[in-house]
Structures are given as structure tokens and as C-alpha cells.
Structure 1
């Protein structure tokens, strides 16, 4: 029963109420000192990805050349301004996500998608490895029609590669970006603050064909 409760999305009637006030969080990135909430340089773009536990996911993206700043938060659900403890109940509908602010002149959205697909197993449904529940589901929340088209095309390309490798069906949620709620301060830049901290992120070993002859 606990597994079912954690692995099924709540409804508006069963979701936790949350709160009107945002959670206290860091103001600048722990590694590069740039503002988490902006202002961001003119012409820079934003991407939002869910790949399981956001500690390891954030590190994957902040290490990429062309990524200006990253933050971790909650999105895709019902409960406003949820706490980490609330999301772990499975009763918020939110998933752990990373917001990536990047310079498109240095790194493309397609390259971020490649990192996304190869950096986790997108076939696991409401889990990622040993992390089980709705909060760990795979998700891409797109900011405009171009991101949607690229996300869907990359999914189809990666599914072909996974199928050839004998892997399962992609369960990644691809949906319009809704509200993004910054996670508590101790989660921001977690693996830089705690170098020996837990990271449950691991890919399938299957190469995403974007960048090797296939366009997103």
C-alpha cells in the first residue's frame, strides 16, 4: 500500500494544501555565486528537467560549458510551495526538477536534451533506481513550442536507440512548464556542499543519437 500511495499521482482533492509563501532558499549558486532567481543575462534561455534525485542531476548540468546557473526545485504537481518532506509523501504531485539557465550561443537545448536522456533511465515510470515515487519521475517541462518539438523528437530518437539495445519504453512526462518552486537552501548545490553525499543518478549506457547525425 505504501508503494502504491507513493507511485500514484494525487488529485486536487487528495493533494496536500501547501502554502502561499515561498520556502527560504539560497540566493546565489554555491559553486559560481550567480543569482539563482535572476536577473539572468539577456538572450539566455531556461530549461527544466526531472531525472530522479535532484542532487546529482543539478551537478550534471552545472558542469556543462555554457550553463550559466542551475537550481533545484519542485514542479509538475498540485501543491504550491511544498517542502521536501511533503513531496516525499507522494501527495503533492510535484517532481524533483532542475532549472537550467544557459547561453544558447555556447550550448544548445538539443545538447541539454542529450545530457538529460543519457544521464538517467527514462523507462522506469514513477521511480529512478532505488528512489521510488512520483517525485522521482522523469520529466521535461518545456518553455515554448520549439522546446516541445525538440523534446518530442529527441524522445522518439532515443526510443529507437533504446529499442535496438533491448531496453523498455520511455515513460518520460513531456508537458508545458508550470509553476516552479525553489527547494530549500540545503538542497541547492547539495553535492558541492556535501561532496560525499548520495547520488542515485545513473544512465542506461545507451547513447542518445542527437549530435551524431540526428537532430532534436
Structure 2
């Protein structure tokens, strides 16, 4: 499936140049010339990457980056005529993944967009590689067995990791403690050991909370079990 890119740029000639080069490489691109409209679409539509200028009508690119990054981990690429290091530092500090200065090489622009978009698809499991899971500001590297909460690594034990992965791979469904015990501990004879599920869920929640996650995705469904809300 081709990548879908949003270009937020008020100079229509530059925006169309970006779009044309992306579409030559089978990347779908859409143009918005107003900052506020661009932010609204970025937050409410499924894009694989956002290209944003800094000097825009109604809302500047710095504010757009800040507000997108509060809600999404989608790649952000700034393309701007502002060449000072302080602008680059500020943009990257607000969560942009890359900063390209104008005038730019179209081939370099496409290469950078492709690289960030491919990486994002790998992280979210929408590309061919499925080694990463990403939900609710939690990213799991299954191959390396690492968990990142809001970009910071949080250490999980083996069983905590396996239980978190299971929840993330099966979201929005209620699992009883007995079902989780059988799935993760591979035992049919419970002998009261379902309490270990309660303990592990509690530990996972504590670690996500320490990772500064404001809303914990694992919800207790009283009388039933647990559900991972995505």
C-alpha cells in the first residue's frame, strides 16, 4: 500500500514540486496551505508522514509540530527557508524527525521522506516487517525485547514483556485472568495461580505510569478481566 503524505506549505509552487516528486515515486501526497487546517487534518486523518513549513498562515510550523507530537508519533519533516541552527534545534526539540532547508534537492527530499515513512510503517506494523508494535505511545521492539514509553526505554521482565505484547496484539477485547494464565503460562491446571496474572498486570501498569504515560491502556473490567484499549 503506498504511503500517504500530508504537505503543509503555503508556497503552492514548492508544495506542488514536493507532491510531484513524491508521486513519481508512488507516494500519495496531499497539500494544505493553511497551518490550522493542516494541524486539524494531521490529527484526524491517517497519514504516514507530515511535511511542514515553518512560516504559515494562522499557525506556524513550530506550533504544529508541538501539537502533533502531543498526540501522535507520526514522522514530522520540516522543510523551511530558516537556516539558523537555533531554528533547527527548536524544530527537532519539538519532535520533528528531520529538518530540510530550502532550496532543497528534490531527490534528497524524496529519499528522506521514504526513509522516515518506511521506518514508521515498520514500527507500527503496517509494512512488511512486523517486529514492532505501537499503541498508545508505547512502542515494543519484539526482536530486541525492548519497550519504549513516550520515547524512553522502560525495563520489563520476560513475563511482563510477553503479557504486554499479548495485550497489544489483541486490543479492545476482554480477557479473563484464567484465559491470560493459560495463554501466557501455558498451564490448564490453575490451582489458584491466576493471582500471578493480577501481580504482573499491576507491575506493567506501575512501569507504564513511571514512564509518564498519562492514561493507562490496561483497564480492569470488574467481574470479567482485563482489556487493553487502543
TM-score, normalized by length of structure 1? 0.26
Higher RCO structure, 1 or 2 (CA under 8 Å, sep 6+) = 1
Q: Choose 1 or 2 for highest CA Rg.
A: 2
TM-score, normalised to structure 2, is 0.25
* Structure number having the greater helix percentage: 2
